[in-house]
Amino acid sequence: MLSENIQSIRKSKGLSQEELAIKLNVVRQTVSKWERGLSVPDSEMLITISDILETPVSALLGETYTETPGDDLKVISEKLEIINLQLARSKATKRKMLHWLFIILCMLIVITAAVLISRNSLYLSWDFNDPETAVVGTFLHAFEWFFFRLAPIALIGTVVGIVLTREKRK
């Protein structure tokens, strides 16, 4: 909500991300991250954004009512804390999904290698005089050849991915 509000109000004021960034003394990528919801401005920066866009902070946060100025900073801090918690949960969920994707990919590599080793290249005893058999046999041989050259690299990559995306214990 905050990200959408910053973007729509900025556009309605006719400002580009670069122009807003210059007025805020930040880089354009920071404004872009705010507008994409990848990060949120701190409470002081939110007040500065509010001043530059000539919009109440409550409007940036999506509220239709106004707060008293004394409570404004507290309310902003609470809203930003909620937004930060939501971003942290989203990040944790993505990390967990990526972790399981690496585990599944690792298992697929190991299972495929086990099947190929146990089958022991049955296509080598085929009669390659038949064109269809020759095509299938050549395809299987090429797959096996590429797999056993790329599998060790992919397996190392997936193991590294599993280690890097594991849940850190505190």
Domains and CATH numbers, the chain: 2-66 (1.10.260.40), 92-165 (no CATH)
Query: Structure tokens of 98?
Result: 């990526």
pLDDT score, position 67: 42
Query: Structure tokens of 19?
Result: 């122009």
CB atoms within 10 A of CB 34: 24
Instruction: Give the mean pLDDT of the chain.
Output: 87
Q: Which residue has the tokens 């409470």?
A: 43
| 122 or 95, greater pLDDT | 95
pLDDT score, position 142: 92
Model pLDDT for residues 132-160, shown as the tens digit of each residue: 888 998 999 999 999 999 999 999 999 99
Q: Residues 117-142: what's their mean pLDDT? A: 86
Q: Contact 64/50 with Cβ under 8 angstroms?
A: no
Q: How far apart are CA 55 and CA 62, in angstroms?
A: 11
